[in-house]
Amino acid sequence: MTMYDMEIGGESLLGRTGAVVADWTESPPEPVQRWIDVPGRQDGPIDASEAATGAPEYGRRRLDIRLLRIVDGSERAAVTWLTELRRWLHNRSLRFAVGWDPGYTYEGRFAVAENAAYDGVAEARLTVDCGPWKTKGERTYRVEASLGKTVVLRLGAPVVPTVTCDVPCLVNYMGETHAFGPGTSRDPSLVLRGPEAYLTVNATPDHGTAAWSAYEGRSWADYGWARLAYLAGAGGPEMEPRAWGDEPFDGTWADVGGTWLDNAYRVAENPPRRDVFFTYEWKDL
């Protein structure tokens, strides 16, 4: 797609209508501010813009686009083209992409705000009323989360990610721990906020020690499916059982110290991969 074209509802503007984008302007989303007057407060109203959602709010985005089309014949041909353009776009809500902002998709309601027809030339001015966010589409990120890993996910708008894993895993974000069982699921309380979200992901929660504070605000009912060892895990070395022929059992009993449990396991040299996938739609202003 060239700088002078658009893809609207999956169709090329140039290919369908023969028109090119002559020029365009954009009015970016305005910040939304919410002020609350507090009786007796001496410093004026309180800015509560982010209190409800935990993130900034924005108004609508507006695009103004001027189209030109060379038509054969008389002014009547230009009027016919303008009629077809209005039939296709006027007051229609459609997803679209523009050549001057590659990689992003917008969604908005079109209007043929102005049009003119001359001998051999047709001109139209489109306005598009859009939501504040443009999207790059879905993105999926993989984390090999054995023993616990910290990962940085970059994003624009707040999102609830879809988490996919083959084994139980714990995700800690901003001091709260979220448990996910095998499969694909979402936790509505796990809302990631940009531009960077720092997460600790542990797909071997049976290993290591976790503090009680990591589960603050949770109840036993939240983890009724889990073993106590699962909740106790957070980032220790992954272990595997020892065989009788392994050290220290390959010598005499006198050479073995500690308890039976101390010697039952050893650190795994080649633990299996435990991938956790995070999928979400990447939106930007």
The full DSSP string for 60-100 is -EEEEEEEEEE-SSSHHHHHHHHHHHHHHHTT-EEEEEETT
Which residues fall within 8 angstroms of residue 157, CB to CB, at 6 or more apart?
55, 133, 194, 283, 284
Q: Return d(Cα 14, Cα 4) in angstroms, integer.
A: 8
Question: Residue 256 has what pLDDT?
Answer: 75
CATH of the domain at 96: 2.40.30.200
Indicate if 87 and 72 belong to the same structural domain: yes
CB of 196 within 8 A of CB of 156? Answer: no
Structure-token pair, residue 178: 């979220």
pLDDT in tens, the chain (285 residues): 788 999 999 999 999 999 999 999 999 898 877 777 667 666 667 666 666 666 778 899 999 999 999 887 677 888 888 899 999 999 999 999 999 999 999 999 999 987 787 777 889 999 999 999 999 999 999 998 887 888 999 988 899 999 999 989 999 999 899 999 999 999 999 999 988 999 999 888 766 555 666 667 777 777 665 555 555 544 344 556 667 777 777 777 777 777 665 666 666 666 677 899 999 999 998
DSSP 8-state assignment for residue 224: T
Question: Which of 142, 129, 114, 146 is closest to 235 using CA atoms?
Answer: 146
Beta partners for residue 66, in sequence order = 23, 125
Residues 35 and 15 reside in one and the same domain: yes
pLDDT reported for residue 119: 72
Which range marks the domain in which residue 85 is found? 6-132
Tens-place pLDDT, residues 133-149:
999 999 999 998 887 88
Same domain, yes or no, for 159 and 278? yes
144 and 40 part of one domain = no
Q: How far apart are CA 130 and CA 29, in angstroms?
A: 9
The structure's pTM equals 0.69
The reply to whether 12 and 89 lie within a common domain is: yes
Write down which residue in 84, 106, 132 finishes a domain: 132
Tally the domains of the chain: 2
Helix, strand and coil percent figures for the chain, each rounded to 5: 15, 40, 45
Rounded CA separation 112/8 (Å): 14
